[in-house]
Amino acid sequence: MIGKLDEHISYIKNFKSKDIDEIESLKIQFLGRKGIINDLFSEFKNVPSDQKKEYGQKINELKNLAQIKYDELKSVNSTSTKSISEDLTKPGFPISKGTLHPITIIKNQIIEIFSKVGFELSEGPEIEDDWHNFTALNLPKHHPARDMQDTFFIQQDPDILLRTHTSSVQVRYLENNTPPLKILSPGRVYRNEAISSRSHCIFHQVEGIYVDENVSFADLKQMILYFTKSMFGKSKLRFRPSFFPFTEPSAEVDIYWGLETETDYRITKGTGWLEIMGCGMVDPQVLENCNIDSEKYTGYAFGLGIERIAMLIYQIPDIRLFFENDVRFLNQFKS
């Protein structure tokens, strides 16, 4: 009986295989519930008592060897089997690149056009105080013109609000710098308005301001002409007299876009004209509010809506599309 055990022990010691099926059947053959080792254990009672000790030791040795052999072969061969079945030269999954949002694309184009003629970037906070958003811009408390921009206030505090326009950045810059100054301030603005295909309560503006000695309305017109030619390749413009508390005189600028597509009809309400910006000569009082000598310096300012321009250029009939982040929409703007 002991001789049989010795045979099994040397069989296990010499067992070699790289075949995972063979390795598994070795385990079943020896360590399985109906395997050799269990059989040998059940024969223990028939072993003559003077051999019981040696038999017991050998059977345990066999059991340990079988387990160790199986574990060893399995760990070596299962990894190598895996690496053979997997083709390491296969390309990875394609990860699609994101796209710039159309608003970002247009914003960058606007910045580039103005930076060519000396405008520098200056940004301000979206959570603003009353002074920078309204009062310093000639919109004192209870001024009816505040109604033009329905405001989101923060936590019942009438002094802290989400800026309704990027004109607030003018004030911050004028307060901290001396002319000549020429800055462009792009950013997000907020108004408590009903959402429709043409208006949204979050949108984007670019504010520009130039203050120096002898700046005139003619300079402003020339700058807008340069901008519209560069941006749209079109320059048929209409300056309509308008009112803004922070500029005097003030104007709104319409561009003649034409009526070539259905979207042109929709966006321009069938007229072919679309308002693209408000502008004017900086009101001397605004300069004084920011401690700039209004006898010595004059300036012009303008504010334009980025969504409007993007809608025209990309023929987007509904402003809400910009805010839904639908990848089917966004993927169309691969640059």
Q: Which residue ranges make up the site for ligand DAH (CB under 6 A)?
A: 165, 167, 207, 244, 247, 278-280, 301-303
User: Which C-beta is closer to ligand DAH: that of 5 or that of 189?
Assistant: 189
Q: What is the closest distance, in whole angstroms, from the C-beta atom of residue 166 to ligand DAH in the complex? A: 7
| In the complex, minimum distance from the CB of residue 158 to ligand DAH, in angstroms, rounded to a whole number | 20
**301/309 with CB nearer ligand DAH:** 301
Tell me if 281 sits within 8 A of 246, measured CB to CB: no
Cα(84)–Cα(199) distance, rounded to whole angstroms?
60
State which residue, 119 or 302, has the beta carbon closest to ligand DAH. Answer: 302
Distance CA 188, CA 138 (A): 22
Residue 73 to residue 68: CA distance in whole angstroms: 9
Element (H, E) at 298: strand 298-305
Q: How far apart are CA 323 and CA 11, in angstroms?
A: 73
* Nearest CB to ligand DAH, comparing residues 61 and 123: 123
Q: Distance (Å, rounded) from C-alpha 285 to C-alpha 304?
A: 22
Bond before 186 cis per omega within 30 degrees: no
The residue among 279 and 306 lying less far from ligand DAH, judged by its C-beta, is: 279
- Nearest approach, Cβ of 165 to ligand DAH (angstroms)? 3
Read off the tokens for 324.
């839904």
Q: Residue length, the chain? A: 335
Sign, CA dihedral 13-15-18-19, equals negative
Q: What's the closest the beta carbon of residue 217 comes to ligand DAH, in angstroms?
A: 12
Q: How far is the CB of 118 from ligand DAH (least distance, A)?
A: 17
Nearer to ligand DAH, 88 or 194 (CB): 194
- What is the smallest separation between the CB atom of 290 and ligand DAH, expressed in angstroms? 14
